[in-house]
């Protein structure tokens, strides 16, 4: 469908339009519209389908072919409309990811009941009547309400410290008067001039560039490339301020919810109020409020996870993608897309600037900056007096401690020094739980998941073995099911819980917390630990990647990486890059305040280029070398990749389909199809998986190729096919 903003369809009796429904259907369906309705693209309607009524969107001209008497009626919802630009974006994402447009639309319509009419809240304000009987409780309510504000009864009771009965009594007596309030509190408007900080000359240069870009109201991409702690946030906040003064909306994407806590505080300090949040942790009510405020243009700044990209902004003037290199931006289920890449697309369609911020840019972005397609803004120094930390490698082949210990003598000494100086330390290990592998010492049996070809991970707090892929869990066996030996299981290798155990034994007086994205440590608990660490209630935080990124802890002067050799997955062309980015981010937490920082990296491969680059802090040399490797092997950004993943409970059918697909692959110049090969975890959640990989030269239309290919093959209904364009995960 073309991007016509409105399509008026002239027909004598009834108007018709193609309506897209938020379902994985191949196309939009024709519906009739009530008389007098202009069929504008984006118009929201309630449309019947089968026995249900769905929210749909007028997408374009009717396809035709449906008899008039079969035509069903779609009814507009209060004239509400998705911005046409969002519709164009949805079409674009669908084409690029080879997803049904309706499945992409579903990303934009995920808030249940969001278009229902608002239900006003009943609230009370001070009345004119003074009741005859006053008492201290009633007096407190009266004093509270003299400010003339309307409040809901529960709020009054809470603020005045009285029972709900007291409030009701006063309302009955006429001392408080009922009024109605809108269902949702209005959004406060961030103030671009609230508390601007004084920028360093570097920051100022970057900020002015970004401000100009916003003022131009044109598409442009800037890489804000600043060392950890250089104040990238302060620099792009200036662009946000400019968007505010231009009357536009701004969207800031963050890779993880865990990062939002500190971010919201900083935003409030700079702009005087909190931005609107958008992520999976919001309640339905909060989501409704945010969605409606965005749609009306009242939510001026939105901070969100990748799904915020599909919000109905009517006047988007700026997108920021913070930590643009993060793999959390890749949505791996349903519609598979990379939010950073799609953010660039949305900015182009909206004709607004986009800022990609990182201390360790992805190779894709780095290359675009290098060849001048993106503006390259550099912040080479840490803010204020802070210097980059000293980085040392600890060769664990030589400098290890006792068997079964994971803290080397060097790291123990450094921890001791840090604690004595009343500074803070971060111990990083990208492994949840107690131990990654549990085995029977008598017969060597390893516990594997019954649904996945993966090992069960011991979680000692829970006293359970847990699969990290499907969450299947069992009690730790008392007796080996294979050889019958009792209490024969031992834990192999470290997880964060085990590092904590060892740390506590070595430093019994230190205050320590574990933060990982576990079921036991939900987002709230993790955020609690991060807050406590930030305000100095904890000395040492032991965590997975959740604590490694983006946070600013001024008293943190030691970062210890427990096992730097836990790189990316097998066959993953980005594993070196990924490893470098993660470890560099961890290292970047150290020494951000006024005291110098130290980073100790425990490794068994100190000669590895990743370790060498970290130790010598030679990021660009590392990236240049990676570029050469990828260029030679036609790996992105020098070539294109797509994965076809087949999965199903019937292993035979999956394998058979894989073979047929491979045989049916059309020959094409500059393009190869590899596989089928079993996926890294061949069985996941009870389903057998096979993978085909398409590798193509950059100029080839890989989507067109796959479309033509799949048109020739019938996939049985027992086999599920997932297409992953630009895959970053090779499990
Ligand atoms: P980055 O995101 O580049 O790693 P941050 O934006 O977190 O760095 O900045 C590091 C710290 O320095 C933050 O506490 C931030 O508030 C502070 N900071 C940065 N720039 C300034 C400035 N111009 N004035 C005052 N404080 C600043
Ligand atoms: Zn499992």
Each residue of 107-117: pLDDT tens digit?
999 899 999 98
Distance CA 129, CA 139 (A): 14
Q: At 9, is the pLDDT very low, low, confident or very high (cuts 50, 70, 90)?
A: very low
Q: Evaluate if residue 6 carries a pLDDT over 70.
A: no
Percent of the chain with pLDDT over 70: 96
For residue 243 the two structure tokens come to: 């968007």
Look-up of token digits 């904890």: 538
Q: Which of 32-41, 159-168, 489-498, 561-570 has the lowest mean pLDDT?
A: 561-570
Measuring CA to CA, which residue among 451, 527, 3 is closest to residue 259?
Answer: 527
Please tell me the number of the ligand nearest to residue 687's CA. 2
Please tell me the number of the ligand nearest to residue 452's CA. 2
477-to-482, 488, 606 alpha-carbon distances in Å: 11, 9, 38
Looking at the CA of residue 588, tell me the nearest atom of ligand 1. Answer: 4
For atom 22 of ligand 1, the residue with the nearest CA is 199
Q: At 14, is the pLDDT very low, low, confident or very high (cuts 50, 70, 90)?
A: low
**Contact indicator for 260, 254 with CB cutoff of 8 Å:** yes
Cα of 681 vs centre of ligand 2, distance in Å, is 10
> pLDDT tens across 167-184, in order?
999 999 888 999 988 888
Binding site membership of 287 for ligand 1 (Cβ less than 6 Å): no
Looking at the CA of residue 230, tell me the nearest atom of ligand 1. Answer: 3
Residue ranges in 177-298 assigned as alpha helix (H): 201-216, 232-245, 260-271, 284-295
Distance CA 697, CA 638 (A): 7
Per DSSP, the three-state class of 395 is strand
Looking at the CA of residue 200, tell me the nearest atom of ligand 1. Answer: 23
Distance CA 670, CA 100 (A): 27
**Higher pLDDT pick, 308 / 280:** 308
> pLDDT tens across 635-689, in order?
889 999 999 999 999 999 999 999 999 999 999 999 999 888 877 778 888 889 8
Binding site membership of 228 for ligand 1 (Cβ less than 6 Å): yes
Q: Evaluate if residue 569 carries a pLDDT over 70.
A: no
* The predicted structure's pLDDT at residue 472: 85
> pLDDT tens across 351-410, in order?
999 999 999 999 999 999 999 999 999 999 988 888 889 999 999 999 888 888 999 999
Binding site membership of 230 for ligand 1 (Cβ less than 6 Å): yes
For atom 10 of ligand 1, the residue with the nearest CA is 229
**Contact indicator for 184, 289 with CB cutoff of 8 Å:** yes
Please tell me the number of the ligand nearest to residue 454's CA. 2
For residue 692 the two structure tokens come to: 């085909």
Look-up of token digits 């009796």: 13
Cα of 456 vs centre of ligand 2, distance in Å, is 8
Looking at the CA of residue 198, tell me the nearest atom of ligand 1. Answer: 23
* The predicted structure's pLDDT at residue 568: 54
Q: Evaluate if residue 96 carries a pLDDT over 50.
A: yes
The most confident of 173-182, 572-581, 702-711, by mean pLDDT = 702-711
SS3 content of the chain, % helix, strand, coil (to 5): 30, 25, 45
* The predicted structure's pLDDT at residue 567: 66
Please tell me the number of the ligand nearest to residue 465's CA. 2
Element (H, E) at 76: strand 75-81
For atom 20 of ligand 1, the residue with the nearest CA is 231
* The predicted structure's pLDDT at residue 521: 57
* The predicted structure's pLDDT at residue 433: 84
Which residue(s) pair with 390 in the sheet? 598
Looking at the CA of residue 203, tell me the nearest atom of ligand 1. Answer: 23
Looking at the CA of residue 197, tell me the nearest atom of ligand 1. Answer: 24
Burial of 226 by CB count in 10 Å (0-12 exposed, 13-18 middle, 19+ buried)? Answer: buried
Please tell me the number of the ligand nearest to residue 269's CA. 1
* The predicted structure's pLDDT at residue 544: 87
For atom 4 of ligand 1, the residue with the nearest CA is 229
pTM equals: 0.87
Looking at the CA of residue 232, tell me the nearest atom of ligand 1. Answer: 3
Distance CA 321, CA 223 (A): 10
Q: What's the gap between Cα 220 and its chain centre?
A: 23
* Sheet strand arrangement including 249-253: 276-278, 301-304, 249-253, 316-322, 353-358, 220-226, 375-379
Mutate to test the pocket of ligand 1, among 200, 227, 229, 231 (most ligand atoms within 8 A of CB): 231
Q: What is the mean pLDDT of residues 121-144?
A: 87
Burial of 401 by CB count in 10 Å (0-12 exposed, 13-18 middle, 19+ buried)? Answer: middle
End-to-end CA distance of the chain: 36
**Contact indicator for 371, 644 with CB cutoff of 8 Å:** no
Q: Evaluate if residue 340 carries a pLDDT over 80.
A: yes
For residue 310 the two structure tokens come to: 């599909």
Strands 437-440 and 489-492: antiparallel
Binding site membership of 73 for ligand 1 (Cβ less than 6 Å): no
Distance CA 450, CA 467 (A): 9
Cα of 553 vs centre of ligand 1, distance in Å, is 11
* The predicted structure's pLDDT at residue 520: 52
Cα of 530 vs centre of ligand 1, distance in Å, is 18
Cα of 337 vs centre of ligand 2, distance in Å, is 24
Binding site membership of 138 for ligand 1 (Cβ less than 6 Å): no
Binding site membership of 657 for ligand 1 (Cβ less than 6 Å): no
Per-residue DSSP letter, 431: -
For atom 9 of ligand 1, the residue with the nearest CA is 231
Distance CA 443, CA 627 (A): 46
Q: Evaluate if residue 631 carries a pLDDT over 60.
A: yes
Cα of 661 vs centre of ligand 2, distance in Å, is 27
Instruction: Find all residues with CB under 8 Å of 52, minimum gap 6, and list them.
Output: none
* The predicted structure's pLDDT at residue 12: 43
Binding site membership of 226 for ligand 1 (Cβ less than 6 Å): yes
Q: 281-320 burial string, b = 16+ CB within 10 Å, else e?
A: ebeeebbbbbbbbbbebebbbbbbbbbbbbbbbbebbbbb
Please tell me the number of the ligand nearest to residue 381's CA. 1
Distance CA 308, CA 297 (A): 14
For residue 541 the two structure tokens come to: 């935080």
**CA diameter of the chain:** 92
> pLDDT tens across 217-265, in order?
999 999 999 998 899 999 999 999 999 999 999 999 999 876 677 889 9
Mutate to test the pocket of ligand 1, among 383, 384, 552, 591 (most ligand atoms within 8 A of CB): 383
* The predicted structure's pLDDT at residue 8: 43
Q: What's the gap between Cα 340 and its chain centre?
A: 10
334 φ, ψ (degrees, to nearest 5): 65, -120
Q: What is the mean pLDDT of residues 687-714?
A: 93
Q: What's the gap between Cα 152 and its chain centre?
A: 35
Measuring CA to CA, which residue among 228, 234, 254 is closest to residue 556?
Answer: 228
* The predicted structure's pLDDT at residue 457: 85
Distance CA 208, CA 193 (A): 15
Q: Evaluate if residue 64 carries a pLDDT over 70.
A: yes
Binding site membership of 232 for ligand 1 (Cβ less than 6 Å): yes
Q: At 280, is the pLDDT very low, low, confident or very high (cuts 50, 70, 90)?
A: confident
- The region, left, alpha or beta by phi > 0 then psi within -120 to 50, assigned to residue 334 is left
Strands 52-60 and 43-49: antiparallel
Burial of 135 by CB count in 10 Å (0-12 exposed, 13-18 middle, 19+ buried)? Answer: exposed
Q: What is the mean pLDDT of residues 309-318?
A: 98
Distance CA 233, CA 311 (A): 23
For atom 13 of ligand 1, the residue with the nearest CA is 231
Distance CA 551, CA 22 (A): 37
Q: Evaluate if residue 13 carries a pLDDT over 60.
A: no
**Contact indicator for 682, 651 with CB cutoff of 8 Å:** no
Q: What is the mean pLDDT of residues 276-293?
A: 93
Cα of 71 vs centre of ligand 2, distance in Å, is 47
Please tell me the number of the ligand nearest to residue 685's CA. 2
Which residue(s) pair with 250 in the sheet? 301, 318
């Amino acid at each position: 469908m073309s991007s016509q903003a409105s399509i008026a369809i002239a027909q004598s009796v009834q108007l018709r339009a193609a309506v897209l429904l938020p379902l994985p259907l191949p196309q939009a369906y024709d519906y009739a519209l009530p008389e007098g309705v202009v069929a504008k693209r984006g118009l929201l309607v309630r449309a019947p389908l089968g026995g249900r009524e769905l929210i749909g969107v007028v997408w374009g001209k009717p396809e035709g072919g449906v008899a008039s008497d079969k035509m069903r009626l779609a009814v507009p919802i209060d004239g509400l409309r998705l911005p046409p630009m969002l519709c164009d974006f949805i079409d674009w994402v669908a084409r690029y990811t080879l997803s049904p447009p309706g499945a992409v639309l579903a990303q934009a319509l995920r808030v249940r009941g969001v278009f229902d009419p608002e239900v006003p809240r009943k609230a009370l304000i001070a009345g004119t009547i003074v009741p005859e009987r006053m008492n201290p409780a009633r007096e407190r309510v009266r004093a509270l309400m003299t400010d003339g504000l309307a409040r809901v009864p529960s709020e009054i009771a809470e603020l005045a410290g009285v029972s709900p009965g007291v409030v009701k009594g006063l309302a009955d007596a006429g001392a408080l008067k009922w009024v109605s309030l809108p269902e949702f509190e209005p959004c406060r408007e961030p103030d671009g001039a609230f508390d601007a900080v004084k920028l360093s000359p570097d920051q100022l240069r970057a900020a002015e560039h970004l401000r100009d870009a916003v003022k131009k109201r044109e598409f442009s991409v800037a890489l804000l490339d600043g060392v950890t702690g250089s104040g990238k946030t302060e620099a792009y906040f200036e662009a946000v301020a400019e968007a505010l003064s231009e009357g536009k909306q701004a969207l800031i994407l963050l890779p993880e919810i865990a990062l939002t806590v500190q971010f919201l505080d900083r935003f409030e300090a700079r702009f005087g109020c909190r931005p609107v949040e958008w992520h999976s942790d919001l309640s339905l009510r909060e989501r409704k409020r945010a969605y409606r405020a965005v749609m009306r243009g009242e939510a001026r700044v939105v901070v969100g996870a990748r799904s915020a990209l599909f919000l109905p902004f009517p006047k988007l003037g700026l997108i920021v993608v913070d930590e643009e290199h993060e793999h959390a931006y890749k949505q791996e289920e349903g519609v598979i897309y990379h939010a950073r890449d799609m953010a660039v697309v949305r900015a182009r369609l909206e004709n607004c600037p986009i800022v990609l911020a990182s201390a360790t840019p992805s190779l894709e972005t780095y290359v675009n900056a290098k060849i001048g397609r993106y503006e390259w803004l550099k912040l080479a120094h840490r803010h204020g007096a802070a210097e980059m930390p000293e980085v040392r490698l600890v060769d664990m082949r030589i400098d290890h401690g006792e068997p079964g210990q994971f803290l080397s003598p060097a790291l123990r000494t450094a921890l001791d020094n840090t604690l004595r100086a009343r500074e803070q330390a971060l111990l990083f290990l990208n492994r949840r739980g107690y131990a990654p592998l549990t085995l029977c010492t008598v017969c060597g049996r390893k516990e594997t998941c019954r649904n996945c070809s993966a090992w069960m991970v011991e979680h000692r707090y829970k006293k359970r073995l847990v699969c990290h892929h499907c969450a299947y869990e069992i009690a730790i066996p008392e007796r080996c099911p294979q050889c019958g030996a009792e209490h024969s299981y031992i834990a192999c290798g470290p997880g964060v819980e085990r590092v904590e155990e060892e740390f506590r034994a070595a430093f019994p007086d230190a205050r320590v917390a574990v933060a990982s994205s576990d079921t036991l440590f939900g987002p709230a608990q993790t955020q609690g630990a991060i807050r406590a660490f930030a305000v100095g209630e904890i000395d040492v935080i032991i965590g997975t990647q959740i604590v490694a990124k983006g946070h600013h802890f001024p008293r943190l002067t030691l970062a210890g990486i427990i096992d730097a050799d836990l790189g990316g997955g097998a066959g993953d062309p980005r594993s070196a890059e990924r490893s470098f980015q993660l470890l560099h981010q961890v290292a970047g937490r150290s020494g951000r305040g006024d005291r110098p920082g130290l980073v100790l990296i425990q490794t068994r491969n100190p000669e590895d280029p990743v370790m060498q680059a970290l130790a010598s802090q030679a990021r660009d040399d590392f990236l240049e070398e990676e570029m050469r490797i990828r260029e030679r092997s036609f790996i992105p950004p020098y070539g294109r990749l797509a994965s076809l993943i087949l999965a199903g409970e019937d292993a035979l059918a999956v394998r058979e389909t894989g073979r047929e697909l491979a045989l049916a692959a059309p020959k094409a110049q500059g393009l190869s199809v590899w596989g089928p090969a079993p996926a890294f975890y061949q069985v996941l959640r009870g389903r057998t998986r096979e993978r085909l990989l398409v590798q193509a030269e950059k100029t080839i239309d890989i989507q067109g190729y796959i479309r033509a290919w799949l048109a020739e093959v019938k996939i049985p209904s027992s086999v599920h096919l997932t297409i992953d364009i630009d895959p970053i995960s090779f499990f």
